Amino acid sequence: MLKNTRPPLVQLMWSKDIVITNITLRNSPFWHFHPYDCTNVTVSDVTILAPISGAPNTDGIDPDSCEDVLIENCYISVGDDAIAIKSGWDQYGIAYGRPSSNILIRNVTVRSLVSAGISIGSEMSGGVANVTVKNVRIWDSRRGVRIKTAIGRGGYIRNISYSNITFDNVRAAIVIKVDYNEHADDGYDRNAFPDITGISFKKIHGWGVRVPVRAHGSNYIPIKDITFQDMSVGISYKKKHIFQCSYIEGRVIGSVFPKPCENLDVYDEQGQLLKSGAVLNSTEVDYDI
């Protein structure tokens, strides 16, 4: 029996001014590129490939407690999250206290048949802030963009902007999940509640999507200040609750299709309030995605 975990293919730690460009990374036993506690990282024109099933944890790019990161012009098709932003796990990430911040992801095409195209978390205990994701195509994936966390993580996820995102045959397009209860050990703080606030989605389009939005906070971890604007997603599965929401507050601006959940305030394109959101902390959930 192996006594060691599977290694990442490329891992750089406590470094700065890193440029990874014009290479292909293939079939890593674990994450393909893992910069840890690094500053000023550029990943450009990189292809990352792994089997799309039966290859667990073969994430493409996982910036972990990193600052000033640019990921652009990449193609990633792997057996887990294509890109996942992290900052430490439970009490260990809280103690280390190094957030991931100032991250720009643009002009990438990604696929994850098993997991998500672009994720934040679930290990985000040092905090994640100031992330911009734009001009992204996510195709043939189980989930499109995902935020995942849980009690015990602590930290924060804030000021996250998604724009000009295209989903092509994605089962659940936008997912925010606060019960991702995998822990490093049993020593995590049961009173460490992550804070999720300031998440915006603008120019979101696609087709062949089963569930466009699943945003479930909890009474301990509400989702605050979420915005949807200019959204039109062609759905492949009709159900009463197309937007699935609980414990969230925020707004819808202008045209959004399918019909958003009742939790959200509705504004017109000029910013005039049309309807205040209702206080609804549970909706019917279809877990079969």
pTM of the model as a whole: 0.95
Reply yes or no on whether 90 is catalytic. Answer: no
Active-site choice (59, 62, 80, 90): 80
Task: Write down the pLDDT at residue 196.
Answer: 98
Torsions phi, psi for 50 (to 5 deg): -150, 165
Model confidence band, residue 243 (pLDDT cutoffs 50, 70, 90) = confident
Q: Are strands 223-235 and 195-209 parallel, antiparallel or unpaired?
A: parallel
Each residue's pLDDT tens digit, 158-208: 999 999 999 999 999 999 999 999 999 999 999 999 999 999 999 999 999
215 and 223 Cβ atoms separated by less than 8 Å: yes
Q: Above 50 in pLDDT, residue 289?
A: no
Interval 68-73 mean pLDDT? 98
What residue segments make up the domains of the chain, in order of their start? 16-275
Instruction: Give, in words, the CATH class of 16-275.
Output: mainly beta
Compute the mean pLDDT over every residue in the chain, rounded to the nearest whole number: 94
